[in-house]
Every structure is written in structure tokens, then in C-alpha cells.
Structure 1
Amino acid sequence: MTSNMKSTLFQRYMNGSLVLQIVVGILCGVVLAYVSPEAAQSVGVLGGFFVKALKGIAPILVFILVIASIANHKHNQQTYIRPVLVLYAVGTLIAAFTAVFFSYLFPTKLNLVAGNVSQSAPQGIHDVLHTLFFNMVDNPVNALVTGNYIGILTWSVCFGIGLRHGSDTTKALLQNLADSVTRVVGFVIRLAPFGVFGLVSNTIATTGFGALLGYSHLLAVLIGSMLFIALVTNPLLVFLATRKNPYPLVFQCLKESGVTAFFTRSSAANIPVNMDLCKRLQLDEDTYSVSIPLGATINMAGAAITITVLTLAAVNTLGIPVDFATAILLSIIAAISACGSSGVAGGSLLLIPLACSLFNIPNEVAMQVVAVGFIIGVLQDSSETALNSSTDVLFTAAACRSVTRHS
């Protein structure tokens, strides 16, 4: 094959439809997993490579973009962070209420079995808030290394504000750095089809779906609640903000952000994908450079659903009566606690003992519920992350377009 042919194939790949390429990767992964499970586990390294590349570049991208955005911000230039934050808060709270409603409508019982869960869970809401506040003042280098996006966001805002008084040359350098990192991220994103191929083939080959059949009712309640949020309440919030048909934007966010997030199972790793989508939607860069990394930490509708549904499943299994006021309190606690989930795979599960403590459920039993969560995590956590991450872009776009409509 000549160098010109190789160059042409590479250009066609880079300019092709990323979503179509991901779909092809999914289908190839499923086929390989059924034909040769051993080979499927071997190509899982492609998935690990892709996710690690995303996780590696995402902290640097957020750090540089936020600093450059704030440093180059003009005094009279408007951003739309406040309406985005309102949508984040309202959306997460509605998700928790919806989970309560679905849990009452389709009550679930669990066969609680002991599981090996090594992570330590927070013992109260003060632990969650303590972690959040101390993550804000984490060493900035350590925040970048560990992917602590609350710390990254805090320090990048501080540096950005300080550099607003810098010279024009310094600000131009920051913008050039931001552009350079964005190009690198664009190349990493184009590796998604190969990464998804490896992730899908390895997941099906090693886990399969047989283990999920025993929890089909629980999964139906969880995923049904998430679909209701994604296709009913979120579009309603977007319509109230923009007064336009929300579904073209909803489906675009689910297709281009949700699909990738479903397989990476990390809101943090999906930040570069969301940044790229916001750029193509021509949203305000000063807004999305802050709202997207912030959403990966605090916009956790899927996490609120997981915490609420699994907690009420434990409550129903133990026969504990729940009145309306307690259900409302659970929704509020789940919504607040969801903001403290880590932004990585399974982060919301460790907050279930916190919600269970509201009903005086022993920690030993609560950790068994967490173990159940890890068993169904192949679908539960993937769906949760897809909802969380796609909603970050959806609400950012809705806020930007809402303000534009009123101006």
C-alpha cells in the first residue's frame, strides 16, 4: 500500500462519522466476544488504552481551558453559568423524586448476599461535605494527578482570575495552549471506535449477561427511571428554558455524548467528548469550559436514581415502612449526596450506606446492597454515566440558548 493510499484512508477515517464508527466498533466487539472469548479479552487492552488516554488528557484540558477562558474574559462579556447550575440542581432533584415514584410503583426486593467491597463508605452527610470542601483546596499538582476535578476547577478559577491582570502576550500564550490541548483531545476522541471495540468485547467475554438475569426487575426500575429522565423530564426542562422542540438536541446529546459515556463509565473521562460536542454546537466557550467539568462532578441525576432505588429496594426487602415525608427527605439526601460521588465507575454506590442510615439499616446490610450494585454495574453504571454526561451538554446548551433567546 502506497503512502498516498495510507494518507487517504487516514483522512477518510478522521473525517468520517464518529458515531457510525463507534456503532461498527460495538458490533465488532459483540461478534468477537461470542466467536472467541479469549481473543476478546486480549483486545480489551484497546479499551483500557482509550479510557486511560481520556483520563490522562482530561485534567490537563480542564485546567488549561478554564484558566485561558477566565484570563481572556472581557469585563463586559456575559457567561451563562448561573442558569446551568439551576438546571443541574433542579434536574438532579427531579431525578431523585422520579426514582422514589418508580420504586413505589414497582417495588423491588433483593436477595442480599455478602459481597467483598473493600472501599470505605461515608458515614454521614457531613462526611460528603467534608470531602467536597477539602477536595477544593487539594494540592493542585495532586489534583491533576488524581483527577480531582473539584480541586482542578477551584485552582484553575483562582489562577484564571489572577492572570486576568497579566499581559496580552501571556493571555495569548494561554489561549494557544488551550487550542493545542484541544487538538490533542480531538485526536484521542477519534480513537473511540477502537476503544469501544475493546471495551465491549472484553466486558461481554469476561462478565456476560447471565449474572444480570437474577436482577432483571431491579435493572428495569433503575434503567426505566433513567430513560424517563432522559426522554421526559430533561426535555421538559429544556423546553421551559428555550421554548423550542427539545428532542433534536436531546437525541444529539444522547447519541454523541451518551454512547461514549456508556462504555467508558466515567463522567470525568467523557469530559473531552463533551467539550468537543459543545464546540460543534457553537456554545459559549467561557460557559462550557467551566460547566462541563463542573457537571461531571455535581450534575448527577443518574447517581441520585441509583442511590434512591437501591436504598428503597433494601428498605422494601427488610419490610421497613416509609411515609411520604421520609421519602421526600430521602430524595433530598440522595440529590445532595450524588454531588459527592467521585465521577468514576461505581462512585455512586458507595453513597448507598449514607442513604440507608436514614432508615437505621445496619452498615453490614447496606454494604451488601453495594455489592449487588457492583454485580449489576455493567448496565447500571453504564446507563447512569450516559445520563449524567449527556445531560451536562444538554443543560449547558439549553442555558446558552435560553439567554440568547431573551437577549
Structure 2
Amino acid sequence: MQRDLKFALVGAGFIGRSHALAIHAVNRTFPSVPIGAKAHILAELDEGRARRAAAELGFDRWTTSWEEAVDEADAVVIAVPSFMHRAIALRTLEQGKPLLCEKPVGLAVGEAAELHAAAVRTGAPNAVGFTYVRQPVVQHARQIVRSGALGRVLHLRGRHAEDYLADPAVPHSWRLNAATAGRYGALGDLGYHIIAMLRMICGPVAGLSGVTRTVHATRPDPASGGQPRVVDNEDYAAAVLRFANGAVGTVEASRIAAGRKMDIAFEITCERGTIAFDGERMNELEVFEIGQNQAEQGFRRILANPAHPFYAGFLPAPGHQLGFNDLKTIELAMFLKAIAEGKSAEPDLSDALRISRICEALLDSAESGRWIENPEDYAGK
């Protein structure tokens, strides 16, 4: 094993804590990973929060300065809101340091493009936190589709639906403010994930037409004693897609889907069968193959098992269930392996830029009502 990389973690919220657990677990879970990860410095703006988080999460030290954290570390993980991504990522990339940034990577296409350009210029290895594409059964689905075992992809549907804003009484927050979340609402939170998943399995998106809706136009603002404050971005987004391989389908993202907690799902229909996945049952994949005995036709349920990518690092027995934090460990293992090889880990800043362009095209299509060709290269209105 090469030397340990001293990691800086910027942000110790929900996602930050998952990254911290991964830093501690990755080399024990995947001992063949050629680089070690060390939890060195944690940055949080609030001193008390920084001190507590560093102690709880096993970091050598803490700081309230993200600049200090970046400068002192060998590699950086960014786990803060979108409006902070650009400055932290640029400082990391300009120093040529490996960067793992949560999506969406900045507030808009321009920031994503700037960061991608910096990574290309400096050669800094990078990866983006599209966590769900790393699930073992999703990776297996990709293998099935890419192998051609079921023939050409004909059509598909994908969705990422949750209900954290289904109740109109949920207060206004940074996610609903254009200054801190950009144009992307449900798309930025959820749509990025399912689009990343569909692209990984089925390839580039060649055309789209979108629609959006903001169901709750205002929400109570805690900063003004609960007075209504305008919501700047969409609660729901959907698109009809055409892929470069000829497949067509739909994608949707909703943050107001009452009852849905982690409903990232897809169904991909091919010439000789169909593959289906539901993120609320993340250790299962359903496969139907044409040609089965008619009396026994139906979807076959495959449980995550050691034959699938990454699973064996955690468990030797099939069907014993991985969880969200395990996916972050997989993510970091892929990142460290890529660093050792002097490259970036898919999905990387290049993928994030293309997905940002797709989302920008979807929003513009929803406003204009027009079909947009080549959204992965979209240059705006």
C-alpha cells in the first residue's frame, strides 16, 4: 500500500458523516485498495460543531476555516450546500489535489464547467458523489445491459421521488432559494441521481423535452417568524428522453411524493427482457427474460451477493443487505483506486457537467415547450 492520504472533510452534516465513516472503513473493507485514507482535518463554520464533529468522527483536528483544511490536506471531500462548492473545489483543484465533491457541483452549468476546466488543466483526480450508481445490483444491471445479453435497449423509465417537502408547512430553506441552490429544485436534489444512473447504464442522452411544476409556491420562513416566502425552484420535474443508442424513455424527480422516502428506481426494457430496480429495496434486482416456460413466466428476483461488484468486501454471504453508508465506502474505494492509477473515478466532474447541462436543458425546455437536441452539450437559451 502506498502512503496514507490525509483527508480534509468540509462539512459534517448527514452526508459529511457518511463520508467520515467511509474514510475509516475503506481500507479495512477493501484491503486491496492501494492507497490509505486518514481522517485528518474536519472543517465546519461553527466552532462548537467543528470540535464535536471532529471528536465524534475520529479526525485528528478541526478548524472553522475551509481554506486551512484544503491547504493542509492531501485530498479533499466537499459535503456542504451547493453555493459553497465552487470556491472550495477551485482551491483544491488549483493545488492539484484529489477532489471528491458532492453533486450537483456548484449552482449552475457555468460553475460546473469552470471546475471541470480546472481539473483538466491541473490533472487533479476527481469524483462526484453520485452515490447510488455504485450499488452492487445497479452495477450488475449495467453489466447485463452493456453485455448485450438482453439485446438492444428499447425504452426505459426512471424516477427519484421523496416526500421531504410534501407537507406545505415544512419551512423554507436554502434548498428553495435561487441564491443558494440555483435554478435546480427537485432536479438538483434528486434528478441528478437518476439521470446519472440512466446515463451509466444506457449511455448519453441525445434529446429531451421537459416539464416542471412548483406545487407549493411559498413556504413559511423561519427568519421572518413564519411569514410566507417565495419558493424559487421546482417541486417536480419530468422529461421525455431519447438516448444516443436509440432508446427512448421518461425520467422524473419529485420532492413532494407523499409516502416515498428513497424511491430511486428504473425499469429498462430490452429486446429480450426487462430489468427493474427500486432503491427502497436496494439489495434486489428484478430480471425478466423472454423465452421462459409460459407456465412459469415472471420476473426473477436477484439478491445482492458476492458475485456482484464490491459486495464481497462487506459480506461473504448473499442476501445480507448493504446500506447507504456502505455505498459511500464503495465510492471512496473507487476514488482511491483511481488516484493510484492517476485518473478520475466515474462519475467525475466531466459527468457532472454533462448532467448539469441536461438539467439546464430540461428547465429551458419546460419554459419554452420545445424539444432540445444534444442536451449534454447544451449552451443555454
Give the alignment's TM-score, normalised by structure 1.
0.25
Q: Name the one with the larger helix percent.
A: 1
Q: Name the one with the larger strand percent.
A: 2
Q: Which has the higher contact order (CA 8 A, sep 6+)?
A: 1
